[in-house]
Structure 1
Amino acid sequence: MTHCRTVFSTAILVSTLLLSTVTTAQDRHFPLNHRQPTGMAGRWSLLTHPQKAGVSQPVEIQLPSAGHVTYFQGSPQNAVLTQSPSKVGMMVGHTYRVRISGMPEFPGAELYPTIEVLDRLHAPNGLEKSYPIPVEITAGEIEIVLQDRMVTKVIYLEQPDLAAPFAQGERIRTEDLKVTENLLRAADERGRPMAILRIGGRIPDPNSPVDPFYSTSPIAIPQQ
C-alpha cells in the first residue's frame, strides 16, 4: 500500500509594528505581500480562482501543549470554546479571528491571532477532514508576542522537488526570514501558499459588543 505524505512548511517573520511596514524593490514585481491589509490575499485568491468560493477547508490550530482555542461568529456572545489541537472548517478566501488562552506555559495570557485561508488541499474524496492545514503556534512565538512584537507566518505546501530530503516528523519545518522579505513571495517560490497566521497587535474593545474586530466569516465547528 502506498501512503501519500502531505508536507507543510512555514515561512516566519518576527518584527515590531514599525518594521512590519518595510518594503523592497523586488516586491513591486509580485502582486501580494503579507504586509498588505489583512484579507487582501484571500480576496485575491477568490478573484483569480473563483471556483474556490464557498469551499470549506479543514484547519487545525495547535498550541504548545494544552490550551483553549475560541472562535467568534460576529461577536463575543457567539464564542465557541474548543481544546487544542482544534480542528474546524474555514472557507477559502476568508479571514478568521480566534482567541488562544488557558495555556499552562503562559498563565493568564490571552492572544487574538488571525488566520487568512488562501487555498485548499485536494484530499481524496471522503478524507478531507484527515488533511487539515496545520497552524502551529509555538511557545517561542507566544513569548515574542508578549513582548509587544508581531509574528507573521505563511503556511505553504511544499513542491515535491523542493521538499527537504529528510523525514519531517510531527513538527512543521519552519524557516526564519529577514524582516525585509515578502513572505508570500518566498512561500510561492517554495510551494503553494495555504494560509497566513498573524499574531500580535489589536485586542478587542471591551466596550463594543459588535466590534468588527471579531470574525464574521462562516465557520464549521464540530460538536465537542
Structure 2
Amino acid sequence: MLGYTQPTAIRVPAGVEVGYAQGGQFTQPESGDVLLGLQVGSVYRLRVTNVFDRPGVEIFPTVELIDRLYPPPGAALKFPVPIDITAEDLELAAQGMYVTRVIYVEDPNQALPVDEVDGKTTWYEARPEEDPLEVADAAGRPIAILRIGGRDISQAAGQGFATYGCPPIVEYGRKHSAE
C-alpha cells in the first residue's frame, strides 16, 4: 500500500478557500472542493482561508492517509475518500480548539440504519475519553485522519515543518461551490 496514490476529495463549505503544500510551499488557496491524489502513508498539510467572518484567519489542517479504497479497475476517481472540513470544524479551530476526525469504511455488519444523503458524510462524535481511531476501528476500517487546529503554524520556524516536506500530490480538479 505504501506509495499508492489514493484519490481524495477535500470538501469545504461554500466560500471557503483551500490550498495545499506542494514543492516546498503552499498553493494559492481557491474556493471550492478539490480532488487530490494523496499517497497512503503520508501526511499532507492544507491551508484553509476565507473562513467566514474571520478576515485574515488561516487554518492549517493535516490529512493522513492510513489505508486505501479498492474500487473497480479504472474507477478510482469515481470513488475518492471523502474528507469533509465542516463549518463547525473551522469555527472550533479558529477558537483554538483541536479537532480529530477519522474517516473509515463502515463495516456492513455494524452499519447504522440511516439513509445516506448524496454528498454528505454520516459521522458521529467520540466521547472525550475515547480515542477516535479506536472508535473508528470498532465501526469499520479506518482510511484517513483529519486533524484541525491546536496551534498556529503560519509563523512556524522552517517551511519544512509547516509543509511536512511536501509528499507527492496530484490535483485532479476542483469543484467550485456556489456562494
Normalising by the smaller structure, the TM-score range is: 0.7 to 0.9
RMSD: 2.0
TM-score (norm 1): 0.70
**Preserved contact between residue 205 and residue 211 of structure 1 (Cα < 8 Å):** no
* Structure-2 change in CA distance of 1:131 and 1:80 (3 Å): farther
1:19-78 per-residue CA deviation (whole Å, 9 max, x = no partner) reads: xxxxxxxxxxxxxxxxxxxxxxxxxxxxxxxxx0220001111112232211112532x5
* Structure-2 change in CA distance of 1:128 and 1:80 (3 Å): farther
The 2-side partners of 1:80 and 1:95 are apart by 19
TM-score (norm 2): 0.86
Q: 1:115 aligns with which of 56, 63, 67?
A: 63
The 1-side partners of 2:157 and 2:92 are apart by 28
Which region of structure 1 is more displaced relative to structure 2, 138-147 or 204-213?
A: 204-213
**Preserved contact between residue 18 and residue 29 of structure 2 (Cα < 8 Å):** yes
Residue pairs, 1:97-176, within 5 angstroms: 97-104=45-52, 106-170=54-118, 171-176=120-125
1:60 maps to which residue? 9
The structure having more radius of gyration, on CA atoms, is 1
Question: Which segments of 5 or more consecutive residues in structure 2 lack a partner in the other structure?
Answer: 175-179
The 1-side partners of 2:156 and 2:77 are apart by 38
| Percent of paired sites with the same residue | 34
**Preserved contact between residue 153 and residue 198 of structure 1 (Cα < 8 Å):** yes
1:71 maps to which residue? 20
The 1-side partners of 2:95 and 2:78 are apart by 35
1:131-176 per-residue CA deviation (whole Å, 9 max, x = no partner) reads: 1111111111211111111111001110111112221113211111
1:59-112 per-residue CA deviation (whole Å, 9 max, x = no partner) reads: 111112232211112532x52544321110000010000001124454432100
The 1-side partners of 2:156 and 2:115 are apart by 49
What SS class does the counterpart of residue 71 from structure 1 fall into?
strand
What SS class does the counterpart of residue 212 from structure 1 fall into?
helix
The 2-side partners of 1:162 and 1:196 are apart by 21
Deviation at 1:119, TM superposition (A): 0.7
Question: Which segments of 5 or more consecutive residues in structure 1 lack a partner in the other structure?
Answer: 1-51
The 2-side partners of 1:207 and 1:126 are apart by 40
The 2-side partners of 1:67 and 1:149 are apart by 19
AA paired with 1:154? V
* Structure-2 change in CA distance of 1:207 and 1:107 (3 Å): closer
Deviation at 1:206, TM superposition (A): 4.1
2:31 maps to which residue? 83
What SS class does the counterpart of residue 10 from structure 2 fall into?
strand
| Structure showing the higher strand proportion among its residues | 2
Which region of structure 1 is more displaced relative to structure 2, 120-129 or 104-113?
A: 104-113
What SS class does the counterpart of residue 108 from structure 1 fall into?
coil
Which region of structure 1 is more displaced relative to structure 2, 182-191 or 198-207?
A: 198-207
| Structure showing the higher helix proportion among its residues | 1
* Structure-2 change in CA distance of 1:65 and 1:91 (3 Å): same
How many residues align? The count is 172
